[in-house]
Amino acid sequence: YVAQELVHLSQAPTWDRAHPRLLARAIGLRVFACATPEGYIVMPGGLTRVASAADARVISMQRGGSSKDTWVLASGPVSTFTLLRSSIGPADLVRAGSNLSSRVVENLFWLGRYSERCDATARLLRIALGRFGDNVPGDDDERARPVVLELLRRAGMLVGGATSDTELSTALRAAIVDESVPGLASAVRQLMRVASNLRERLSLDNWRTLNRLTQQLAQRRGRKTGFSDLLGELDFAITSFTTLSGYALDGMTRDPGWRFLSIGRRLERLQTLCATLKVTVSGPPDMDLTWLLRLSDSIITYRARYMARPEWLPVLDLLIRDEANPRSIAFQVHGLRDYAQRLVDRFGDFGDERFHGSLAFLLRLDPAADLRPGSERLLGWLEEWQQAASRHAEQLGLRFFSHVGESSAQTFAT
């Protein structure tokens, strides 16, 4: 624990761009000191944090504050001497970035996890709204109702036995816009918290997408909104998360930082998919599986291949064994094994042989015997894969995210 004296903040005039005028706001100045042979010298200027409200007692970026560069005018001419090279020659060309600290890598890992968690949450809420609010045509099979309700409960978005239309409406609205309860708004807040620690690693396009998303959700907070408008918000959110995935896929250098972001995404997707399938396989065997294909974003692939109503065998095969489907368990497994092997080759073993052993169950699946509702063997393997993903995340954290000692000192020099 760290204790800090409550400081009475100074105030300064700040410019309000929304309503062009000067306003008094609390500020805090952070200065920097450099060690020299003659002792420490405080650098001129620094970073000023500005509170969002006139009566704020704490300045925090998480509470709407902002930061400004602070410049100090010199009393005379300033020397322009610099130790930086004026230009980069052929001998200076590099193919890798600068060193990555374990803290940066951990933040990238959690950025991947939270972005995937947000996407999965938004998709589940969209299924629930379409089923319990304005029903989606052709996707209103009541036999799937208890399965969707159980998924909402396990995600923390539905508490207890709330099943009436009024209770469901209240819970679903809160899960979308209320940051104080589990759901989309709280997941997006966690995503923004991690992203704020990676400002220099994310492009302006990333930030525009994130900012638009948070602004859209904030505008709905405290308002009475119909189901159709909430469905539109969820569509916008899912499009935003898909955009962020595209930035990661097509706009980031394939360095260890990108690899950990991808590991985070795949681990989160693997755990979510296993949890979803466990509940689904335990549900009514005669229910329509269209909602499951929509939830896993695999409806187009299924229809293109089979041109028939969803059945258990082909649906489970698509979501579990199909290595070409980016939403399948097999796709996540093979990607994680590839990333893990690259880390082992570069940084040494991090003691997770059980992860590879448990995933060998994929090769033992018998489609005829195991890919069916109520299969005890399939339920056992889904549980094992989910636990294996959890153990893998723990081992990665112990080896690469300890911000002290040898692992931190040598982390990811690229």
pLDDT at 161: 66
Give the type of residue at 400.
F
Dihedral angle sign, alpha carbons of residues 194, 255, 331, 293: positive
- Cβ neighbours, 10 Å, residue 246: 12
Residue 372 burial (C-beta neighbours within 10 Å; 0-12, 13-18, 19+): middle
**Rounded to whole angstroms, how far apart are CA atoms 309 and 330?**
23
HEC string for the chain: CCCCCCCCCEEEEEEECCCCEEEEEEEEEECCEEEECCEEEECCCEEEEECCCCCCCCCCHHHCCEEEEECCCCCCCCCCCCCCCCCCCHHHCCCCCCCCCHHHHHHHHHHHHHHHHHHHHHHHHHHHHHHHCCCCCCCCCHHHHHHHHHHHHHCCCCCCCCCCHHHHHHHHHHHHHCCCCCCHHHHHHHHHHHHHCCHHHCCHHHHHHHHHHHHHHHHHCCCCCCHHHHHHHHHHHHHHHHHHHHHHHHHCCCCHHHHHHHHHHHHHHHHHHHHHHHHHHCCCCCCCCHHHHHHCCCHHHHHHHHCCCCCHHHHHHHHHHCCCCCCCHHHHHHHHHHHHHHHHHHHCCCCCHHHHHHHHHHHHCCHHHHCCCCCHHHHHHHHHHHHHHHHHHHHHHHHHCCCCHHHHHCCCCC
pLDDT at 244: 93
pLDDT at 358: 64
Entry pTM: 0.77
Per the CB < 8 A criterion, the answer to whether 85 and 92 are in contact is yes
Domain boundaries, the chain: 1-68, 101-252, 256-291+302-400
**Rounded to whole angstroms, how far apart are CA atoms 92 and 89?**
5
CA proximity to 50, closest of 80, 72, 73, 22:
22
* Strand partners of residue 15: 22
CA 277-230-204 angle, to 5 degrees, is 85
Task: Take residue 292 and report the two structure tokens written for it.
Answer: 């499951």
- Cβ neighbours, 10 Å, residue 209: 20
pLDDT at 122: 97
Name residues of the chain where pLDDT drops below 70: 62, 96-99, 133-140, 161-163, 222, 351-359, 403-414
**Rounded to whole angstroms, how far apart are CA atoms 392 and 136?**
38
Per the CB < 8 A criterion, the answer to whether 115 and 194 are in contact is no
pLDDT at 278: 97
pLDDT tens-digit series, residues 134-155: 544 445 678 898 999 999 999 9
CA 176-178-182 angle, to 5 degrees, is 75
**Rounded to whole angstroms, how far apart are CA atoms 390 and 393?**
5
CA 293-299-304 angle, to 5 degrees, is 140
CA proximity to 151, closest of 179, 182, 173:
182
* Strand partners of residue 25: 12
